[in-house]
């Protein structure tokens, strides 16, 4: 059964989904937190139905699955009472435990805890760069603060001395921070000075970004920088067009 390739809005009817026990994934195509869950689903090859939600005009029925109206959410249709889970990190960890191949978090408890802390340390970079993406007059020190926050990840890659944060293969940290690194190159299209991360300062991170672009899950899920920039422009104009993600399909 095909679900319409669109974002469901307020007033739209709830899509009719088969009772087939297949996980249901509620998302917004440009939401980096939703992309976290999408990457884990792709990496583990977990069958699922995709339902996209318009976050500006959420359909009334969506709170049945996400009480606060947030994305992502997954509905476990094969479980009794079909419970739903929300919050990207909660969903990612649940999927990693429930579908253990390939394992994305390290088995060692201390390393897993340290990886979770590292994921949280992306927050200052996200807070610094969002006004640049989505406001007409971002703080003057936004890019400086953004780069300072990214220094943590450059140094961590040097410390680990591995191509990925997960080691020799992509791991949970890589997938959990990737959605923002996918979006950063859109700055070249949005800003007049064609901003890009400095290769001297962020050499390891830029190498990592190129490697991540070759990952099969990333290939399945990622959007092109031009598509991200186009969406950011519609949001900056106060008329976010979530369906612009599907225009090239």
Is 31 a catalytic site residue? yes
- Max Cα–Cα distance, the chain, nearest Å: 54
**Gap between the Cα atoms of 219 and 215, Å rounded:** 6
Give CA 20 to chain center in angstroms.
Answer: 27
- The structure tokens listed for 99 are 């579908």
* Contact status, residue 168 vs residue 162, Cβ threshold 8 Å: yes
**Gap between the Cα atoms of 96 and 44, Å rounded:** 8
23, 28, 31, 86: the catalytic one is 31
**Gap between the Cα atoms of 26 and 14, Å rounded:** 12
Enumerate the active-site residues.
31
């Amino acid at each position: 059964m095909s679900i319409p390739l669109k974002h469901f809005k307020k007033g739209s009817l709830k899509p009719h989904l088969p009772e087939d026990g297949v996980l249901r994934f509620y998302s917004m195509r440009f939401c980096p937190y939703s992309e976290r869950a999408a990457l884990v689903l792709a990496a583990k090859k977990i069958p699922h139905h995709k339902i996209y939600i318009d976050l500006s005009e959420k359909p009334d029925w969506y709170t049945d699955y996400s009480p606060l109206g947030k994305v992502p959410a997954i509905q476990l249709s094969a479980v009794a009472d079909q419970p739903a889970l929300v919050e990207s990190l909660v969903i990612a960890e649940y999927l990693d435990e429930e579908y253990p191949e390939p394992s994305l978090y390290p088995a060692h408890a201390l390393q897993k805890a340290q990886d979770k802390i590292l994921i949280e340390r992306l927050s200052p970079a996200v807070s610094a760069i969002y006004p640049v993406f989505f406001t007409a007059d971002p703080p003057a020190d936004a890019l400086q603060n953004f780069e300072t926050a990214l220094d943590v990840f450059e140094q961590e890659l040097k410390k680990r001395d591995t191509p990925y944060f997960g080691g020799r293969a992509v791991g949970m940290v890589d997938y959990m921070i990737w959605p923002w690194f996918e979006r950063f190159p859109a700055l070249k299209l949005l800003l007049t000075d064609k901003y890009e991360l400095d290769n001297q300062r962020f050499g390891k991170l830029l190498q990592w970004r190129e490697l991540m672009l070759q990952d099969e899950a990333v290939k399945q899920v990622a959007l092109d920088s031009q598509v991200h920039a186009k969406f950011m422009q519609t949001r900056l104009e106060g008329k976010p067009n979530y369906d612009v993600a599907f225009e090239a399909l």
